[in-house]
Amino acid sequence: MLAITELQKIGIGVMGFGLFFLLFGVLLYFDSVLLAFGNILFLTGLALIIGFRRTAHFFFQRQKFRGSLFFLGGVTLVLCRWAVIGMLVESYGFVLLFRSFFPMVLGFLMSAVNIPFLSAYFSSSPSMV
């Protein structure tokens, strides 16, 4: 098991604050200052957790270039105070960037939370029992 460094612990906290500011900015009717601050903290936390080189490599892979362009373009639009359009563009880029992770996250959530109707609906076996 890999040990978590102090820099990664700080990155987790920074990313958590970034997500909080993003959520709070959306709840306050797309407040552009909160959204911009949340975006900056989220990207900084990501860079602190996985490292600057891995972050740059993740965003600038050839197959993820379109998603990165939309995501970082949305961040730029939010920083220019076009909050609603920027969040829409950023959300589309987020889906393009992380679409390969969604089945894994869904599988983890289904194993962690046993909801009878949903687990029967998403189960791989044909049995409903």
> pLDDT of 12-40, one tens digit each?
999 999 999 999 999 999 999 999 999 99
| pTM, two decimal places | 0.79
Contact criterion met (CB below 8 Å) for 87 and 116: no
Statement: residue 79 has pLDDT above 70:
yes
Residue 22 has a pLDDT of 95
Taking CB atoms within 8 Å and a gap of at least 24, the contacts of 1-9 are 7/48, 8/48, 8/49
Q: What is the mean pLDDT of the chain?
A: 88
If pLDDT is split at 50, 70 and 90, which confidence band does 125 have? low
Counts for the chain of helices (H) and strands (E), in that order: 7, 0
